[in-house]
Chain A
Amino acid sequence: MSEWKAFLSRISLFPTVPPAPPTPSALDLYRRIWGEPDSFHKQPNALMQTVVEGRHGHLQVNCLAQPTRIDFNLTAAPTQEAQTTVALIDHPIELRDELKRIIGILDEGLVSNTVSRVALNLHFLNLKPSYEEANKAVTKIIPDQYGVTVTDEEDFVFQINRPHMDEDIRDVKMNFITRWSVERFEVLTIPIQIGGVPAAAGMLSSLKPENFISASVLFDNNNTPIRPLTGKEQSALLRKAFDAAVEMQREIGLSIEGF
């Protein structure tokens, strides 16, 4: 069984420059994909993000919208156990199927001709107790051709892009980005009373964050914006982005179930 697990995945849509037909609201988009949300927060300030979120199976899902981008984020849903660590997705097949389902909905024309760029992110982590072990885990999955060697260094980041012109959609260039890194997560748990009242200031000052170190690999596959894309073009590009991420994770030996 692979030590690597999915941390988050994201499908992003980048609206075209105005004037253009308006994209549906974040709430409408969420409803079309996941039904009724658990919460909805519309920002009065147009430059800030509108947030709609809820739970779908074993996934926590949300739609964030602002003038220049719309993100559909999928992460691990809360479990019965208290979460004192970085939550990872234990149901990768469900994640895979959900990403494919969203791409299928876009194919039907959810935001046709109002989007000029699409992106698919897949982020995997392998939690380790030390930088040395995290470095070892991450360098193990970097192809030998790059000759990357680290031992006890901190804040390691290595990124490549393998861009090429799309074969099927005219003038569209695709970026296929892989980023290997070692990351330190800080998790701070804050007691909140029933009704959302925060704990007293004195208690907050005594809180101490927990730290987690992780090997990390991120796939960020997207197209460069050229013109408004039809729903068919959006879904075709996202399928290629997804397939390329799946192929790359196999190539470097992540061996994620279902991918």
Chain B
Amino acid sequence: MPNLLTNIYPHSTVILESTSVPREHDQAKPGGQNVIRNDSEFTTAITISEGRIFTVRASSTDIIGRSEQIQEYLELGEALNEMVGLEEDDEWKIDAPVYTTACYIASELMDALYPAPRVFNHGPKSVVFNWSVGTNNLYLTISPNRISALRSSPERIERRVDYSLKQLTNPALFLSFIESRHQGQAFTLIKAVKAVSDPSEFFDLRRHEIQAHPGQR
């Protein structure tokens, strides 16, 4: 709302009065309103007898389909929930500290409007987030104390970076340095570093095909 005014984010919940007991009077109770503020861009208000939805409209259009992306992150969150809840001997089981860190990283990625990754694990001690464009892949291996990013083509590992989480104040930032180009294909994730504190902020996300130039990395 106060910022770009371009995204209207449907909130995943609508909260009614906390009681389900019918009111003494059938009339609407003034003041019986609950307000949800997901962020400053979407507000839902519900009274006993009426609901009210505030949105902020601008004439510009979204850069990407936000609702589809949120749905993909919802599925990622559910997958992580399931993985931490599995029996100890299950091969998909992840430890609670891995789950906590993975949720934090996923939340950062979602907030920064990165595409949702696929997820798999390497035993209980880490999870791997994966993005692919064509035959190129980007892997983010997350353990409770470390995060490592690796980009690969079918021929080789092109780049690998490792960080101790203690050294990172914002884990999403280092993704801006990861870029994979191979045979005319590009995989680029770019995040604008935020000075504002609003949940959604200006971003530049490119996921496209480019022409490779001789000598270009």
Spell out A's residues near B (CB within 8 Å).
8, 10, 12, 14-19, 22, 37-41, 43-49, 51, 53, 55, 60, 62, 64, 66-69, 71, 73, 75, 77-83, 86, 116-117, 119, 121, 123, 154-155, 157, 159, 161, 163, 175, 177, 179, 181, 183-196, 198, 209, 211, 216, 218, 220, 222, 224-227
Contact = CB atoms under 8 A, between A and B. Distances in A.
Contacts of A22: 100
A67 B109 CA distance: 11
A186 B80 contact: no
Given A62-B36, A157-B4, A181-B5, A189 B51 contact: yes
B38 interface: yes
A186 B128 CA distance: 42
A89 to B, nearest CB: 12
Interface string B7-37: 0000011011110101100100011111111
A117 B196 CA distance: 11
Most A C-beta atoms less than 10 A away, residue of B15, B80, B145: B15
B52 A47 contact: no
Given A8-B37, A47-B76, A184-B56, A195 B50 contact: no
B40 A8 contact: yes
B18 A39 contact: yes
Given A18-B100, A41-B13, A47-B110, 6 more contacts: A38-B17, A40-B18, A45-B74, A67-B107, A83-B45, A184-B58
Given A175-B195, A195-B20, A39 B3 contact: no
Contacts of A43: 12-13
10 contacts: A18-B100, A47-B74, A75-B35, A78-B47, A123-B1, A123-B40, A175-B196, A186-B53, A194-B48, A227-B169
B16 A196 contact: yes
B57 interface: yes
A34 to B, nearest CB: 14
Interface string B94-134: 00010111011011101100000000000000000000000
A192 B58 contact: no
Contact of A62 (B3, B35, B60): B35
B30 A189 contact: no
Nearest to B57: A184
B119 to A, nearest CB: 12
Contacts of A66: 107
B165 A186 contact: no
A68 B108 contact: yes
Contacts of B80: 46-47
B111 A68 contact: yes
B107 to A, nearest CB: 4
B62 interface: no
B84 to A, nearest CB: 9
A81 B30 CA distance: 7
A186 B44 CA distance: 11
B216 interface: no
A38 B169 CA distance: 35
Given A181-B2, A194-B23, A154 B35 contact: no
A38 B18 contact: yes
Contacts of A75: 35, 37
- Smallest CB-CB A-B distances: 4 pairs: A119-B197, A47-B77, A78-B33, A218-B2
